[in-house]
Amino acid sequence: MGNAEEAIRQFRSLTRRYPNFADARAALTAALWGQGQSGEAESNWVAVVGLDRRYRDLDWVSTVRRWPPAMVAALEKFLHL
């Protein structure tokens, strides 16, 4: 909805409560990368890959998980370091 800081706060809260929630960790990775917080983004990505490798497939993220285009684009930028 355009408020990256609030989104990051919510994603962090979700990952604290549910550390194995791969979707929240992947979204946190994308949001952090978009805000220039590369170290924390990479750290969360390690957990995502350990939980669910499908998040590497942007088509799956877009069509199955139904992420908004801005988040898919942010994850794409992260994946194409």
Task: Give the tokens for residue 66.
Answer: 């139904």
Q: Which fold has domain 4-79?
A: 1.25.40
Condensed to tens digits (0 to 9), the pLDDT of residues 11-56 reads 999 999 999 999 999 999 999 999 999 999 999 999 999 999 999 9
C-alpha separations of 53 from 2, 20, 45 in Å: 27, 13, 10
Q: Does residue 1 have a pLDDT over 70?
A: no
